[in-house]
Structure 1
């Protein structure tokens, strides 16, 4: 690339020099020739005026007198009617520049100058033009080398950054080069590095959370199997087997959720999807549990919102918030969807006592809980939201209002708000 930049820059400069150099040589040649011819004509006019003045004064017109009025190297011929022709200097033989003038007394003065002087002047001009062209070529080469270094070195750095990302090192370099296009590429690579770092962090945390979330159903299942192995009562075996099957179903559900989250975090497959589908799915999934608890779950707000993210991750976040309200909240749980700026927002609120004042700023930290639980659910939900390009916040403590913010696709049409029970 470096060689191509130098060659292309040098080629452009040579073409420009050739075009303008030839034009300048033609113009200078004509200018120098015209100037020399004009000097000869003026010399003839000056000499004829001198001859006129001497003739009018009755003075002699001789070669000795006129020689002092002629520049060296020029040939002059004075023709006066009735008198001998006066010639001064040596007549050039290489094709001279000729100037001729006639006086008031009928005399004729002819001045000739050798073209050698014009050739010398033209040669000096061509040497100056050639020197300027050479300096221009040298300057172009230096400029091309500098520009090549300025462009090639950043591209090498960007290639190394991309290679580091591919090898699993997602640290952004935050290095800029002063070239808008290259800085844009550097911005994209840094953003990709930060996103990869977030995804790797989320994946590591998800692995840690998996061991925690699987430990409880496995322990419960182990206890039920121990009860079965130590009893001979068929009814007890049947009851314990039924409970064990329930634990297996719970374990299967946890594994499926963890695998879904793991795939989404690993691939970063953010798409544009319909939020209504995810919200309705969660309401249908949790409505039996709320009905069993004698409570209700409803949704309201803006319809047909489309957001950018991973549907599976959004479903996991909403499930964590709904389960948190079921376990620790009270009354009706409401999911409200709205739009703020360029973001789609889903709020989850209930009529319970809310979040204790001393935990408001730490509610999303791991192992922080006000009800003797593990404190991992909200932390996992926050990690999933951030890995998906959104954020999860506690907008209000009493009554509790949790909000999931996602980037949204601009809605084409507006629909009336709805309330579904």
Structure 2
């Protein structure tokens, strides 16, 4: 913006200076020509006074002392002074009319002197082009230097004014980027013109409002999650009352996992800023696949596991990655028929990890990820969105495709820690 304002002022100043200096330069040239012509006419008049009253030698000495070449043409054909041809303008002046005529290389001033024996004498003063423009080049150079100085001064002032505007605007942009990255404590110091200060105050007010809304949302999520503890306690008591110890242990394990998930939601909801601690993706994925392998065995599903040797450090907290893997595997068990196989593959990629979960089910039928909260299979539609947000929070991405058997394939690129 500073550069554009400087260019705008430079262009505007240049146009104003051209409109002012060009006529002034032409006026200087005209004034120089007028001054030279006046001096030549004065010389011609001075010589004309002496014609007929002094002898030829005295007249010749007078013409030699003149500042410009002076020639006197007598009616009898005699020529005194500087050598010059008898031009048509001289013939015209010999008829008694003083004239000024343009000649190659300059001008000639002709003064008719009457009362000379034999007719009318003509005094000619020659002005060269250099005489007509004497001093003009220096004045033009001064005007050009003045124009450049004024244009530079205008650009300098415009740059200072632009800095007063762009500085606060750049600060506003920086605060906006910090807010977008999750730094809710970012605030700007309003400055600059009144309009920019108003924008700064509005941005601070917006940040305060966002902080308040998020805090309220976190508390609501924590309260809702906390309410789930009561039914979880009831489920635990019911599990302990089962006669089959193996079945009771199995249900208690599921209740423990659910309670850990609820606790994680409460902790995450009350966390002011997201903890970007990383984890070992190989260890987390291996643990979650081991958990789901029991259900896969019960449903007669083939489970293929291909894990790269760890550790594979990724910029995702362990609990978030575990929730992401659970969401993906849960989708497979929820939306594919029993007996449909699935595969989990984890490989190193671009300093992070590449996690792929595929199945032998009916597939997505589309290459675009479903929108958050929408699902064509009667679910909440949040599973894939959880996976997408987990991948993007680490600087990665999520992509959907088809497996080798025609089922669904979900690939997450997780950024390195």
Instruction: Tell me the TM-score range normalised by the shorter chain.
Output: 0.3 to 0.5
When the two structures are superposed, what TM-score results if normalisation uses the length of structure 1? 0.45
Q: Tell me the TM-score normalized by structure 2.
A: 0.45
